[in-house]
Amino acid sequence: MNSVTMVGKIVSGPELRATAKGTSVANMRIASTTMKDVVFIDVTAWGKTAEFCDQYFEKGKAIGVVGHLKTEEWESQGQKRSKIVLVAERVSFVGAKDDEPEQRAPQNSRAHEPSAAQDDIPF
């Protein structure tokens, strides 16, 4: 099973581009801390997830990423190189509500008003 869940802060990106076929792809680098050290990992998001990252995340913001690991290989100056990349399947906001982007509701919207049924829930 190749499944990874990681929480960290964005240290570079997200940088959105499109493939030759028009598919959106965003690349970013996040830093995740443990008790003793910091791990830096490259993250790649595709399609709508890439567009979401570009719109709502920026350097310094906390992010949660669920995805899988992939090895990317290339050659540079005659040397074979490789790195492990976290391919994002889902991303989420992490941290205080003040850290989240401002949500804009359409005018005259009742989207944020609780319904009577919600008021009756005992918890």
**Residue 65: inside a domain:** yes
**Residue 109: inside a domain:** no
**Residue 40: inside a domain:** yes
- Residue of 118, 117, 11, 6 lying closest to 61 (CA atoms): 11
**Residue 113: inside a domain:** no
pTM, full prediction: 0.74
How far CA 112 is from CA of 12, 17, 101, 107, 109, in Å, comes to: 33, 34, 16, 12, 8
Residue 104's pLDDT is what? 40
**Residue 83: inside a domain:** yes
**Residue 42: inside a domain:** yes
**Residue 114: inside a domain:** no
- Cα–Cα distance, 22 to 57 (Å, whole number): 21
**Residue 119: inside a domain:** no
Instruction: Please list the ranges in the chain whose pLDDT falls under 70.
Output: 96-123
Residue 76's pLDDT is what? 92
Which domain covers residue 40, as residue numbers?
4-99
The tally of domains found in the chain comes to: 1
CATH number at residue 93: 2.40.50.140
Residue 97's pLDDT is what? 64
